[in-house]
Amino acid sequence: MSNIGIVVIGRNEGARLVRCLKSIINQVSDDTPIVYVDSGSTDGSVAFAKSINVHVINLDMSIPFTMARGRNTGLSFLTQHFSTLNYVQFIDGDCELIEGWLDRASQVLSRCGNLAVVCGRLHERFPEASVYNRLADMEWNTPVGEADFCGGIAMMRISALKEIDGYNTALICGEEPEMCIRLRRRGWKIRRIAADMAIHDMAMTRFGQWWKRSIRGGWAVAEGAAMYGRSPERYMVRENMSGWLWGIAVPIAAISLAWLTCGLSVTLLVGYPYLILRVYQYRQSQGDHRDHAWLYASFCVLSKIPQAIGQLRYWFVRWQGQPATIIEYKSPVLENVDDRKFLDQSSVALS
């Protein structure tokens, strides 16, 4: 695998980072470069990564952080110090790479010269731990075949990334689909294959976390529509309209016009059960369990409200001319990887 480099990004991932790096090291040869890009961890992540001879880059946190900036920084390090690499595997520090993925993905890329990105099935580690983890696991299960977009965990052709100057570092979210648009405009292809790729540890147990994540999704919708809504892709136009309609227009109209319409305007809210039913029927057609389909449909419709908040936030920040800052929804892991006992146990696990 000397033609593959690995870029890991993270902050305060604790045991998750140990698990991530272990899953990579156990699959690659000694000459495979692994670079960990850290964004201000305080839990000893940097010291641990260095202790197992992983290349470490500490991002300058005086510059606004984005995951796109972290990935570009890692990619730049690889291309500057390992010029013979053909492919790069991006993975987040809260993920574990599944055995066999690197071989499978690199073989697909080597056979298809116009393929820029290969991704596979991303699984949630504990889908039964919370409804939010279950929703994420369903979200990761995208159709197999040629795709328009990929997520943050994927193997990519370095020459294709160089051609488009990598990720757009100004984006606080939605950076992968935006990059894929630019790749496809250059004739490159994106494909999801029927293979297990990685295990993701969402660790989302609170409604407030899900709410913030949905707000972040609304920001991505608004920004995506602003950038590419008028292009042939009509990117995020439908999602943008849906957020404005179901997240703002319908509830405001139903409530504010109730006195004027003798309560008839409240019947507009019947649209929500109907929308839930449509999403449920779609998810069942995709093979979801009945209970999971209802869960997904209900939260999909509920998410219209925080999505609309995210859309409003995007336009408010843009109107003010302020720099965008990431919308955090995850909590740091409690373990401190500077702890001597933890380091010793991790070293044994990696040996």
Q: How many C-beta atoms surround the C-beta of residue 272 within 10 A?
A: 17
* Domain 4-204+334-350: CATH superfamily, name plus number: Spore Coat Polysaccharide Biosynthesis Protein SpsA; Chain A (3.90.550.10)
CA–CA separation, 50 vs 343, rounded Å?
Answer: 12
CB 210 within 8 A of CB 166: no
Q: Is the pLDDT of residue 335 over 60?
A: no
Residue of 314, 195, 177, 147 whose CA lies nearest to 244: 314
Per residue in 199-208, pLDDT (tens digit) is: 999 889 999 9
Give the contacts of 2 (CB within 8 A, at least 6 positions apart).
29, 31, 32, 84
Q: Is the pLDDT of residue 139 over 90?
A: yes
Indicate where the chain has its CATH 3.90.550.10 domain(s): 4-204+334-350
Average pLDDT, the chain: 92
Return the structure tokens found at 75.
């990619």
Question: At 345, is the pLDDT very low, low, confident or very high (cuts 50, 70, 90)?
Answer: very low
pLDDT at 347: 41
Q: What is the pTM of this model?
A: 0.90
Task: Say whether 335 sits in a helix, a strand or coil.
Answer: coil
- In order, the DSSP letters of 46-107 are HHHHHHTT-EEEE--TTSPP-HHHHHHHHHHHHHHH-TT--EEEEEETTEEEPTTHHHHHHH
Q: Is the pLDDT of residue 140 over 90?
A: yes
